[in-house]
Structure 1
Amino acid sequence: MKIAMTTNGKTLDSLISDNFDANQKFLVVKISDMSTEEIAISNDLTAADLAQKVIDLNCEGIITGNFLSEKAFDLLADGCVTRYLGSGYSVAEAIKLMEKRTLPLIRNFEGTDKCSGDHH
């Protein structure tokens, strides 16, 4: 399983970003061996482009902060990518919490715990 993350760095000690946007580092972690891959993103990439990149990389989930772009949120939700709220945690901590099923889900664009529409 691969999980994408928006971070402030490129290691397992890096912190998860406060927001999902294209101005962050973009890291993909293969959970089976905890290997990391930093994905290069260009300066002209939008949040929706970044969401599509997560889908194209076949990531099952993303650990990030709040969404600033409803279009990016909708792309990920429609692409069946599970969204986790991990801001403030290191990559390694967030993965451990995700595996224990204690990392909060981002169920809707507003960031509340309620489901809305077809996205959950």
Structure 2
Amino acid sequence: MKIAVVAEGKSLDSQVSEKFEKCLYLLIVNMNDLSITAINNEELSGENLANEILKYDCEAVITGDIEKRAFDILADACVTRYYGVGYSVEKALELMDNRSLKLIRSYDGTDNCGGNHH
């Protein structure tokens, strides 16, 4: 299983980014062996970043705030969204695995689930 994490660095010790679109790196983490593919986010927009997550067939993303268009792309593809700000990538992955990270149900941060998104 692959999990995407928007991060401020390339390693498991890096912090989860506060804003999806402003992250320095997109980390694709293979949960079987914790291997990482780090993608530099110099030129990707929010939509392109979301599409990159889909390209790697990630089941979930750990992020901070996320804009509506990127949220919709991920939600429409059934990618689970978790809020991981304040944690290292490694700790956020651990919390997600233990079902202790907050789900992002709506791009505006509320628990309301709008449209067809689950």
Q: TM-score, normalised by structure 1?
A: 0.93
Match of 2:29 in 1: 29
Match of 1:47 in 2: 46
Range moving further from structure 2, 21-30 or 82-91: 21-30
Q: How many residues in Structure 1 have an aligned counterpart in Structure 2?
A: 118
**1:114: Cα distance to partner?**
2.2
Contact 1:2 1:28 in 2 (8 A): yes
Identity among equivalent pairs (%): 47
Match of 1:94 in 2: 92
1:38-93 deviations in Å (ceiling 9; x for gaps): 023442x21001101101110111000011x2111100000111000001100110
**1:19: Cα distance to partner?**
0.8
Q: Which secondary structure state, in structure 2, belongs to the residue aligned with residue 9 of structure 1?
A: coil
Contact 1:85 1:105 in 2 (8 A): yes
Query: What value does the CA root-mean-square deviation take over the aligned residues?
Result: 1.2
Q: Which secondary structure state, in structure 2, belongs to the residue aligned with residue 21 of structure 1?
A: helix
Whole-angstrom CA distance in 2 between matches of 1:83 and 1:111: 11
Q: TM-score, normalised by structure 2?
A: 0.94
Whole-angstrom CA distance in 2 between matches of 1:50 and 1:115: 22
- Write out aligned runs for 1:1-120 (5 A): 1-43=1-43, 45-67=44-66, 69-120=67-118
Whole-angstrom CA distance in 2 between matches of 1:10 and 1:41: 11
**1:22: Cα distance to partner?**
4.9
**1:115: Cα distance to partner?**
1.6
Whole-angstrom CA distance in 2 between matches of 1:14 and 1:72: 22
Whole-angstrom CA distance in 2 between matches of 1:40 and 1:110: 26
Range moving further from structure 2, 107-116 or 34-43: 34-43
Whole-angstrom CA distance in 2 between matches of 1:13 and 1:23: 15
Where in structure 2 are there 5+ consecutive unaligned residues?
none
